[in-house]
Structure 1
Amino acid sequence: MSIPLILAVAFVVFLGALTRTTFGFGEAVVSMPLLTLLPIHLHTSVSLMGLVGLTVASLAVATGWRHMERKALIPLVFAALVGIPIGLVMVTIVPTKIMTGLLGIALMAYGTYSLTRHFLISTETKDRLHHPLWGVLFGFASGVFGSAYNFNGVPVAVYGSIRGWHPNNFRSTMQAYFFISGTLIVAGQGMSGMWDIHMFTLYLCSLPAMVTAIIVGTILHRKIPTVKFQRYVFLLIATLGVVLFVKSTI
């Protein structure tokens, strides 16, 4: 494994971890398209980002556990348990481009709609999304897309944005969810044979980039005004949708 390749992977990991630490999600959607441009096996890329996401989440949970939305977290986690094995099966049946394209279209539609609204969402819809069944739905989708394509953060991010969580609650709840679901997803990826020596080598070499990204991302998160945070989240969701859709067409 060449030094330029290791440095390129470390830079991609830095960008992904920076996005996750700043906004609470998005590292896989940022990093995976870039990793596909490098001479790395897809399973190595998926398992690497799974382990990176779990590492970032564990560090974030240790410092932000007080701001978690615990009641919302429970249905998300239990539904993800059901979705994870389905995703592991689905990745071998459904072509990745089809699922990536559909997810990209959905994210573009939601992000664009939210950005063009003069207010975030109506009170009536907020009341409906407080029902635990909504958490079950989004948690299930997260488990499926997480184990299959490492996109477990996007459904939960959409759920949290619709619920109108405060930035601190949004970030902390997302990281707590990532820590729990990420542990299960990483374990599932390991048992399914997606780990190899190249993945662990790249992970260890990327640790300094991860630590740097966590420090920089934490500072950026604290500087973003509360009023603007959700707008940035909506913009990021729409942008990630474009990235996924373009990726599915190439």
Structure 2
Amino acid sequence: MSITLILLVVVAVFVGALMKSMFGFGEAIVSMPLLALLPIPLQTSVSLIGLAGLTVATLTVFSGWRHVERAVLIRLAISTVVGIPAGLVLLHFAPAMLITSGLGIFLIAFGCYSFIKRMLSRAVERPVLNHRGWIIPFGFASGVLGSAYNFNGVPVVVYGTLRRWNPDRFRGTLQAHFLISGILVVTGHALGGLWTPESLIYYAYSLPAILIATALGVFLNKRIPAEKFERYLFIIIIVLGILLLVRWG
């Protein structure tokens, strides 16, 4: 564990935490592929970003709590619990090459989807997926992606877009879900044996950067047009996905 490697890990965590505090999501989507390009085990990256994501969620959730759609949040939490073991099984038994390549494909698909989600949102005049049972598969996917990749927020982003949540409800419900699912995912990581001395050391080094990134992200969120920066974020996501596929191709 060299000083250079520690610094690179801290930078990757900082960038992800900054994205999440600015836009409400995006931490794992940015940090995980950056960490995957470094010579550290995938399980170490997963447990580190799980801890970092829970820290950011704890620091940011209270500002949007009054806008949370509580009924949806409860069903999300229950179905997320069911999905977490499936993600842990995938992480433990699937080859690292398969998981990392799948991560790259997922990043490219999500980045492309993000570009068209506003068009999709305008095209749908009414909310779709009105039946409350639709939240169950999205919550299950959140549990699987959360425990395997720390992407527990992505299914909720898709669901919120299709349900046409207003910005306050979208951000508030997403942040509350990050907190609840983050606790569940981190607990699953601990029980699943993903916590290692290495990941805890990286987290300790990264904690000051997480705090700074969270404060900076909240400051910038109030002063910079988020839509413009979201486009840049989605471009970066697609590029990182391509890099992962090239690396493992």
Q: Contact between 2:32 and 2:149, CA under 8 Å: does it hold in 1? A: no
| Cα deviation code 1:152-198 (max 9, x no counterpart) | 12221222233333333322211211111111111111111111111
Counterparts of 1:153-192 in structure 2 under 5 Å? 153-192=153-192
Bigger shift: 105-114 or 175-184?
A: 105-114
CA distance in 1, matches of 2:90, 2:32: 18
Q: Contact between 1:121 and 1:162, CA under 8 Å: does it hold in 2? A: no
CA distance in 2, matches of 1:137, 1:234: 28
- The structure-2 alpha-carbon separation of the partners of 1:165 and 1:151, relative to structure 1 and needing over 3 Å to count, comes to same
CA positional deviation for 1:150:
1.5
Percent of pairs identical after alignment?
A: 48
| Cα deviation code 1:188-211 (max 9, x no counterpart) | 111111111111111111111111
Query: Secondary structure at 1:223's aligned position in 2?
Result: coil
CA distance in 1, matches of 2:11, 2:151: 20
CA distance in 1, matches of 2:114, 2:224: 19
Query: Secondary structure at 1:120's aligned position in 2?
Result: helix
Q: Aligned letter for 2:99?
A: T
CA distance in 1, matches of 2:143, 2:120: 32
Q: Aligned letter for 1:247?
A: L
CA positional deviation for 1:242:
4.7
CA distance in 2, matches of 1:141, 1:39: 28
Question: Who is 2:16 aligned against?
Answer: 16
Q: Contact between 1:114 and 1:234, CA under 8 Å: does it hold in 2? A: no
| Cα deviation code 1:122-174 (max 9, x no counterpart) | 124x1x23322232222111111111121212221222233333333322211
TM-score by length of 1: 0.86
Q: Aligned letter for 1:207?
A: L
Q: Aligned letter for 1:130?
A: N
Match of 1:122 among 120, 124, 140: 124
TM-score by length of 2: 0.86
Q: Contact between 2:108 and 2:237, CA under 8 Å: does it hold in 1? A: no
Counterparts of 1:22-171 in structure 2 under 5 Å? 22-91=22-91, 92-93=93-94, 95-114=98-117, 117=119, 120-124=122-126, 126=127, 128-171=128-171
Query: In the alignment, is residue 244 of structure 1 matched against residue 234 of structure 2?
Result: no
| Cα deviation code 1:192-232 (max 9, x no counterpart) | 1111111111111111111111111112222355xx64x76
CA distance in 1, matches of 2:123, 2:231: 12
Q: Aligned letter for 1:221?
A: N
RMSD: 2.5
| Cα deviation code 1:17-60 (max 9, x no counterpart) | 00111111111110111112323222111100000001111111
CA distance in 2, matches of 1:59, 1:170: 18
Query: In the alignment, is residue 219 of structure 1 matched against residue 219 of structure 2?
Result: yes
